[in-house]
């Protein structure tokens, strides 16, 4: 299954995301709930920002694979962060974590700064939408 990347020239060339992805008609939608980078009640100390980003992304990929999908099936990702400055200062490590898990696949991405997340100690949460081929 191939997505059609939609990047209007008027918006400039995106780097590390796409402005839009058009899914094929035959795909099935998978909505992946927000996956926190740290769970309230987990043992130990929460990892740093990049560690939480990687952990949340691992959970997204786990749900995706459990549904029979692959990282390249991700069509949209929304990243919620509690500290935009921490996100910005961790971009290199975040990029490495992204490429380790998703390669050079960049879906439509949104980044949202929030005042807090439900899980105490969580500084990042990722939700996603994927389009999977055929019947499971």
Domains, the chain, ordered by start: 16-132 (3.30.1330.40)
Torsion sign across C-alpha atoms 29, 73, 87, 52: positive
Which residue from 122, 38, 48 is spatially nearest to 92, judged by alpha carbons?
48
Contact 15, 106 (CB under 8 A): no
pLDDT of residue 1: 53
**Residue given tokens 């949209």 in the structure block:** 76
Block mean pLDDT (10 aa), the chain, length 136: 75 74 79 92 93 96 92 94 97 97 91 96 96 69
> How far is 99 from 61, CA to CA, in rounded Å?
13
Which residue from 90, 80, 20, 86 is spatially nearest to 56, judged by alpha carbons?
80
pLDDT of residue 23: 75
> How far is 112 from 76, CA to CA, in rounded Å?
14
DSSP letter (8 states) at residue 127: E
C-alpha neighbours within 13 Å on the C-beta side of residue 69: 25
């Amino acid at each position: 299954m191939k997505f059609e990347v939609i990047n209007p020239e008027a918006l400039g060339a995106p780097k590390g995301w796409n402005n839009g992805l058009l899914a094929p008609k035959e795909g099935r939608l998978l909505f992946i709930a927000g996956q926190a980078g740290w769970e309230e009640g987990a043992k130990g100390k929460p990892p740093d920002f990049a560690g939480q980003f990687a952990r949340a992304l691992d959970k997204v990929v786990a749900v995706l694979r459990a549904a029979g999908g692959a990282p390249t099936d991700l069509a949209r990702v929304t990243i919620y962060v509690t500290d935009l400055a921490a996100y910005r200062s961790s971009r290199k490590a975040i990029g490495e974590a992204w490429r380790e898990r998703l390669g050079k696949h960049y879906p439509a991405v949104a980044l949202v700064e929030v005042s807090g997340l439900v899980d105490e100690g969580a500084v990042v949460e990722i939700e996603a939408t994927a389009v999977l081929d055929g019947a499971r």
